[in-house]
Structure 1
């Protein structure tokens, strides 16, 4: 199996409920939005926020850990001539680095880090921004 291939398997577990399973055995419930499970749109937002968070934390965390480290990802769901999709996607980071040299260093690299994450590093948001075609097939 290719080292670059990423996948999940999805299985129906109830009315409007599914479970996603990754290759490591992790399980994530997915719902239609009528229950506490994450909807597919919420999962997309979580994936964007998670990818951004991991990349930002990897770079700034070498200097100092942020506390709190809170991230919000949002967008407007619309239906137009292009079908259903999200617009106005935005990731907002609420990071507080400690006082002192380490915190100053983390704050100093944050603007460039956010640019790198947006323009190059975050696989999820880059895929959304590029607009990669999604093939849907039945077996």
Structure 2
């Protein structure tokens, strides 16, 4: 496996209230999420990220031929609890529902969809490939109490 030098992606998460957060990227784009009415949960955000990554791959290529008349992707997964007590998603599924005009461009775009979806999931979608490859997650903590010094752990 060769790894190419690619930019690092990052977001900053800010707590706005109990169980309410905003994730912000370096360009200032934001998404609110958390636990509660009107919010996507972190698990739902993960499903949206997987679906969104493949959506971009498919949309970029098919829209060169024509604009879709319908473009919807359902993303689902079943939360399971492992013997260790930890939880994760299993049986993650993407369901593509696309429609194109009945003309030459539409037929061309429609004919590309299955191949594009497979390429996205097998090669191009960074999000689904990261999940499939069980990428380790590392962390560090810095905690302050009052005006005292920070305690940092890795």
TM-score, length basis structure 1: 0.92
Runs of 4+ in 1 over 2 A off after TM superposition: none
User: 2:63 is matched with which residue?
Assistant: 61
Shift of 1:31: 1.0
Shift of 1:64: 1.7
Instruction: Give the structure with higher Rg (CA).
Output: 2
2:93 paired with 1:90: yes
Q: Please give the secondary structure, in 1, of the residue aligned with 2:141.
A: coil
2:140 paired with 1:137: yes
Write the deviation string for residues 54-96 of structure 1: whole angstroms up to 9, x where unpaired.
1100111111221110111110011112521000101111101
Q: Please give the secondary structure, in 1, of the residue aligned with 2:138.
A: coil
Q: Greater helix share, 1 or 2?
A: 1
RMSD: 1.4
User: 2:114 is matched with which residue?
Assistant: 111
Q: Take 1:35 and 1:134, find their aligned partners in 2: how far apart are those partners?
A: 29
Identify which of 112, 121, 124 aligns with 2:124: 121
Task: Give the unaligned 5+ runs of structure 2.
Answer: 143-154
Q: Take 1:25 and 1:107, find their aligned partners in 2: how far apart are those partners?
A: 35
Shift of 1:127: 0.6
Number of paired residues?
A: 137
Q: Take 1:129 and 1:3, find their aligned partners in 2: how far apart are those partners?
A: 20
Shift of 1:3: 5.8
Q: Take 1:27 and 1:105, find their aligned partners in 2: how far apart are those partners?
A: 35
Identify which of 5, 17, 21 aligns with 1:18: 21
TM-score, length basis structure 2: 0.84
